[in-house]
Structure 1
Amino acid sequence: MLSRSALSRGAQLAARTQGCSQLAQRRGYAAVASSAPSPLSFDTTEVTGVKVAARDSHGPTTKLAVVAKAGTRYQGSPGLTVGLEEFAFKNTQRRLALRIVREAELLGGQLLAYHTREALVLEASFLREDLPYFTELLAEVISGTKYSTHEYHEDVQRVLKLKQAKFAHDVSALALDAAHSVAFHTGLGASLYPTPSTPLKSLNEHTIADYAASVYAKSNIALVGDGASTAALHKWTEQFFESVPASPSGPAQLNTKPTKYHGGEQRTAHTAGNSLVIAFPGSSFGTFKPEIAVLAALLGGQPNVKWSPGFTLLSKAAASAPGVAASGTNLAYSDAGLLTIQITGAAASVRKAGEEAVKALKSISEGTVSKEDLTKAIAKAKFDALEASQSGVSTLLSAGSGIIHTGKPFQIAENVKSVDGVTADKLKTTAKSLIDGKATVAAVGDLNVLPFAEELGLKV
């Protein structure tokens, strides 16, 4: 890569600070004159075998992420995805972890690694001019990380135990995890984090290294840049990602079975609190359903305006059971979605709010939604989608996940147009199909009080 050794680190940072405001102004004026068709859309192409997506906001900072098909649905045994995540930005063939940290901090950058059910994300945030360095670093992390015994015992096991302990006392996370298990069984049904009772006998530095060799291949990754020009990102991708293997080279086999929705019920006793999840088949990345987006907005939960109970049905349901938090969300994945209603609070209040939530959903299926509430829900669905498309973690994740699973980024702006076409009749038909079908119900907490699916009037 280009050397920056001509200037000392201190001189570089001083010069950068002095010219920051002028740089931001120049780029700000350029943004106004941009002829890009949409500031929300990503330009996609393939560079040296790597799927690349770029969106230039013409700002002074950039976010760059490698999104890999390595979420928990793909791992062959529990803990592999978490283990691989914990090795990110550690020792590589060329750099020690200490050097990576010091160089990133000297450049004002931030490094982050996290995973979802479908993806492992290695993300870097930095000043725009440092794109070459961080592109090289991400390429080095996925192709040259050392999976040493020392780091495994010192870090991975420690982090796993901490996450297991935290997960075991989070009733909301446990209920949502249980809902996925009931809804999808394997694949998307795999636990996001291993529980304390999960056997981790096959988790060690060797199995993690084998998993990495199967995951970190050009066919399984996408490079997403937000705030980088297409030409610049292509240039540095071609230079630094050429050495990344074209196809998986490790012995570990990724679970690639298509998702199937099952539905059902699971109840878990717990003393740390109470949480109830009621879920139905939702909208996926591959097949966006605008009716589901509007239905999730209509269910809502949190008021949009302070001191107002809100127009959403779950906010009204929560008002009848003080002390509970209720929310409706569509969790989108590559080949499936889960429309969830999650309620947390005191057991009796959760039960009451759950009953009211199902009544509200049934009222939608009977066509009782007012024209005004439908208009508000459509507007909220559009706002939520466009807000999610702004620069941030969810943007990089959704774009990258879309590319590695469907071949193109999940373009929020395109889907917003279809939301305007949702009518009361379409919403009624969608809600009725959910109520008449198999639901997913997961209860965690005081099982003597929390309702069964049958008591809520749902089929499982």
Structure 2
Amino acid sequence: MFSRIATRSYATSSIVKVTASEFATPVSKLEVIVKNAGSKSNLKSGVSHLLSNFNFLNTTSKSGLRLKRESELLGGNYKSYVTRDDIVLETQFLQQDLPYFVNALGSVLTETSFKPHEFTEGVLLQSLHEAQLAESNNSFKSLEKLHELSFRKGLGSALYYDGLNDISLDEVKEFASKVYTRENIEIKATGVVEKDLNSFLESSPFVLLKSGSKLSTPVKEYTGYSARIKAHGNSVATIGIPIKLQDLASYETLAAFISYKFPNSLFTTVTSKVLTYEELIKFSVIMFSRIATRSYATSSIVKVTASEFATPVSKLEVIVKNAGSKSNLKSGVSHLLSNFNFLNTTSKSGLRLKRESELLGGNYKSYVTRDDIVLETQFLQQDLPYFVNALGSVLTETSFKPHEFTEGVLLQSLHEAQLAESNNSFKSLEKLHELSFRKGLGSALYYDGLNDISLDEVKEFASKVYTRENIEIKATGVVEKDLNSFLESSPFVLLKSGSKLSTPVKEYTGYSARIKAHGNSVATIGIPIKLQDLASYETLAAFISYKFPNSLFTTVTSKVLTYEGAALFYVSVESSSAEEVSILIKSIAKDLKSNSGLSKFTKAAEFKAYSQGSIVSSFSNVKDSLPISKVNYVAAGNTDVLPYADEL
């Protein structure tokens, strides 16, 4: 449960401008924004991108590797990225480690070494890789060209370094000395006491920041131009208009009109929005105030959890507990039912609901997890009654029309399943659940068309799970008293009583599977675990993440998935190189079997758990080592190269 010290405070330290949101949360965040140092400020396109990728490398006081390792042990993380307006350095960490990360950020801005080998062997290659990755997406490519047509220079400059300009290390250093000054730095802090932050700033490398000129970039707009780009991949057509501040509200409304009139379809995406930039368009920031810290209550109908933050945008989640894929006698029923949500009801057509919601500025979605079915809506706070009624109507009045089932729900569900199955990481994790739990949590998450499921079976399942005992509501930005009042006069009152759902869990270890498939190779090790061992395995996951960091082309994922009454620890390695996957997964398997010294990774585990909403309440009794003899193993991709289970 979070408490808050103050609503929001704005202040400027004696060094740089500081904006602090003093929410007492376990995880804090600092953003250092180098104002107007983004791609628009470059005489040579790409300088900002290169400078951004130099951040968090070697400094005169600490190597980049040491900073990375120390941050990981503290459970924190950091990143640097470039926008058209700014360069942003961002860190997240446990609140008590604020002094360390203030010092780290200050050191980056004032003490970066700019080593030649880091530039040629790291920064240039990383920047080119990011540019190539972005350019492989035709939507990005189209938007880049649109900016060039609309602004030419400045905001029209390329966002990323593409290698076409010959940029030297000296040019990057010169740019850093120009932009890393007191006048251009702003700090945004969340979960931090402003007084403490200012105090730590005064005794950190931030005091070494020099004074300089405040940056600005002139903007000139152009219209009536076009470009055509022949490329592989999806086709994209984009229309754009550079606009003035005084017309912002009107164009936001026009964007909403376009989104309303031309909704997305199964295979086509229509995006309509206004992008705002510093010198071209400024907009006011809405200040949030909070009514109450947090409240938990149960209405006379269903269980309600309400977080009463007075924000303009509210959120409701209806969680149908234990109605997820684990509850299906036939795999896919939960997925099909989830895709029936928000279609026709006896009181309103699905199209009318969609149009009304869009006109109110709201949105909704339904999705299935292994545990639950979740219906989620976001809307302006004053429209709470409408969306309470809409959610209640979905649960109690859905029509289950035969044509919607055959022409919509089945096709949509198959499409989602095929999309997920095209990813070998998903495929591997699905198989790992099957090996670890067999039925229940081991059932397929999505409907794959292999089971013959009738409309009557979906309706029967809905009548079983859409009952008062199985429904929970989580609300954000909603006054609990109002919510309970609206529930009492909504279709939620039509919910019938029934049995509380539960699914037995049994764990299995020592099994393996191999899946030959196109795409990246993935090797995954998993262990089903008891909830009492959760903290220890969260720490083991942090240890693996620390010892086996991601590289440019290889991803190592180590985490614990928690479910109702069970959990699954897993480590996966993914790369285009099956040889690289094989080497890493063997090393990881060896370290899993001989793990020790886990207690020093508790802070890293604590940070990860808090930031991911884990149910772990304490890490005080973490075991220093975990006896691991048998695991489950899945190899997916190039199985001619990936090792067998007995080779780990």
Same fold (TM over 0.5): yes
CA contact (8 A) 1:50 1:218 kept: yes
**1:51: which partner in 2?**
17
For structure 2, the 5+ residue unaligned runs are 283-351, 364-376, 382-476, 478-648
Q: Alignment partner for residue 261 of structure 2, among 304, 313, 336? A: 313
Match of 1:323 in 2: 267
Structure 2 letter corresponding to 1:49: I
| SS of residue paired to 1:325 | coil
1:240-389 alignment, distance < 5 Å: 240=204, 241-247=206-212, 256-263=216-223, 264-282=225-243, 289-300=248-259, 312-315=260-263, 318-319=264-265, 323-336=267-280, 376-380=358-362
Which residue is 2:34 aligned to?
A: 68
Per the TM alignment, residue 91 of structure 1 is displaced from its structure 2 partner at its CA by 0.5
Separation in 1 of the partners of 2:244 and 2:114?
A: 38
Q: Name which of structure 1's ranges 123-132 and 158-167 shifts more when overlaid on structure 2.
A: 158-167
* Corresponding residue of 1:187: 154
Aligned to 1:328, what secondary structure does the other structure show? Answer: coil
Query: What's 1:96 paired with?
Result: 63
Residue type at the aligned position of 1:81:
S
Q: 1:328 to 1:337 in 2, by over 3 A?
A: farther
The 1:46–1:35 alpha-carbon spacing in structure 2 relative to 1, beyond 3 Å, is closer
Instruction: Determine if contact 1:48/1:242 at 8 Å carries over to the other structure.
Output: no
Code of the residue aligned with 1:270 in structure 2: it is A
Change over 3 Å in CA distance of 1:283–1:177 after alignment to 2? same
CA distance in 2 between partners of 1:267 and 1:384 (Å): 38
1:257 shift after superposition: 3.4
For 1:173, what is the secondary structure of its paired residue?
A: helix
Q: CA deviation at 1:258?
A: 2.1
Match of 1:179, SS state, is helix
Q: Which digits, 9 at most, give the CA deviation of each residue in 1:414-443, with x for residues without a partner? A: xxxxxxxxxxxxxxxxxxxxxxxxxxxxxx
Aligned CA distance change for structure 1 residues 35 and 174 (closer, same or farther; 3 Å): closer
Distance 1:106 1:377, change over 3 A: same
Q: Check the 8 A contact 1:217/1:244 in 2, yes or no.
A: yes
Checking the alignment, whether the CA contact within 8 Å between 1:283 and 1:292 is kept in structure 2 is no
Q: Distance in 1 between matches of 2:149 and 2:9?
A: 38
CA distance in 2, matches of 1:384, 1:172: 28
Instruction: Report how far residue 58 of structure 1 moved.
Output: 1.6
- Structure number with larger C-alpha Rg: 2
Q: TM-score, normalised by structure 2?
A: 0.43
In the alignment, the residues of structure 2 paired with residue 293 and residue 59 of structure 1 have an alpha-carbon distance, to the nearest angstrom, of 34
Match of 2:192 in 1: 228
Aligned match for 1:206, one of 170, 174, 180:
170
Give the Å deviation of 1:376: 4.1
Letter in 1 for 2:74: L
Structure 1 pair 378/289, CA: closer, same or farther in 2 (3 Å)? farther
Matched, 1:141 2:108: yes
Could you tell me how far apart the structure 1 residues matched to 2:357 and 2:96 are? 44
> Aligned equivalents of 2:356 and 2:278: distance in 1?
28
Give, in angstroms, the shift of residue 75 of structure 1: 1.5
Q: Note if contact 2:46-2:159 (Cα within 8 Å) is conserved in structure 1.
A: no
Contact 1:92 1:146 in 2 (8 A): yes
Change (3 A) 1:214 1:52: same
C-alpha distance after superposition, 1:149-180 (max 9, x if no partner)? 11011102211331232233221111000011
Instruction: Please give the secondary structure, in 1, of the residue aligned with 2:229.
Output: strand
Q: Which residue of 2 aligns with 1:177?
A: 144
When structure 1 is superposed on structure 2, of 56-65 and 175-184 the one drifting more is 56-65
Once residues 242 and 101 of structure 1 are traced to their aligned partners in structure 2, the CA distance between those partners, rounded to angstroms, is 23
Cα deviation 1:336-375 (Å, max 9, x = unaligned): 259xxxxxxxxxxxxxxxxxxxxxxxxxxxxxxx9x9688
Residue 447 of structure 1: aligned partner: none
**TM-score, normalising length from structure 1?**
0.59
What are the within-5 Å matches in structure 2 for residues 21-32 of structure 1? 25=1, 28=2, 30-31=3-4
Shift of 1:230: 1.5
Taking a change above 3 Å as real, the CA distance of residues 376 and 60 of structure 1, as seen in their structure-2 partners, is same
Q: Following the alignment from structure 1 to structure 2, what is the Cα–Cα distance between the partners of residues 170 and 384? A: 31
Q: Could you tell me how far apart the structure 2 residues matched to 1:333 and 1:226 are?
A: 23
Contact 1:172 1:275 in 2 (8 A): yes
Match of 1:406 in 2: none
Matched, 1:124 2:72: no
Instruction: Percent identity, please.
Output: 25
Alignment partners' CA distance in 2, 1:159 and 1:385: 41
> 1:384 and 1:115 mapped to 2: Cα distance?
31
Quote the residue 2:125 is aligned against. 158
Query: Aligned equivalents of 2:279 and 2:359: distance in 1?
Result: 25
Aligned to 1:428: none
Alpha-carbon distance in structure 2 between the residues aligned to 1:170 and 1:106: 36
Is the 2:50–2:161 Cα contact (8 Å) retained in structure 1? no
Aligned partners of 1:282 and 1:331 also within 8 Å: no
Larger RCO: 1 or 2 (CA < 8 Å, sep 6+)? 1
Task: Assess if the C-alpha contact under 8 Å between 2:45 and 2:159 holds in 1.
Answer: no
Counterparts of 2:226 and 2:280 in 1: how far apart (Å)?
A: 19
Whole-Å separation in 2 of the counterparts to 1:288 and 1:68: 27
> How many Å apart are 1:282 and its aligned residue?
4.4
- Structure 2: how far apart are the matches of 1:169 and 1:143? 35
**CA distance change for structure 1 residues 61 and 164 in 2, over 3 Å: closer, same or farther?**
closer
3-state SS in 2 of match to 1:126? strand
- For 1:206 and 1:143, locate their aligned partners in 2 and report how far apart those are by CA, in whole Å: 16
2:54 to 79, 87, 97: 87
Q: 1:246 to 1:260 in 2, by over 3 A?
A: same
How far apart are the structure 1 equivalents of 2:52 and 2:150?
Answer: 26
* Alpha-carbon RMSD: 3.0
Query: Deviation string for 1:26-75 (max 9, x for gaps)?
Result: xx2x33xx563xxxxx5222212311110112211111011002100012
Tell me the amino acid that sits aligned with residue 112 of structure 2: T
Q: Secondary structure at the match of 1:266?
A: coil
Unaligned segments of structure 1, at least 5 residues: 1-24, 37-41, 301-311, 339-369, 387-412, 414-460
State the Cα distance separating 1:260 from its structure 2 match.
2.0
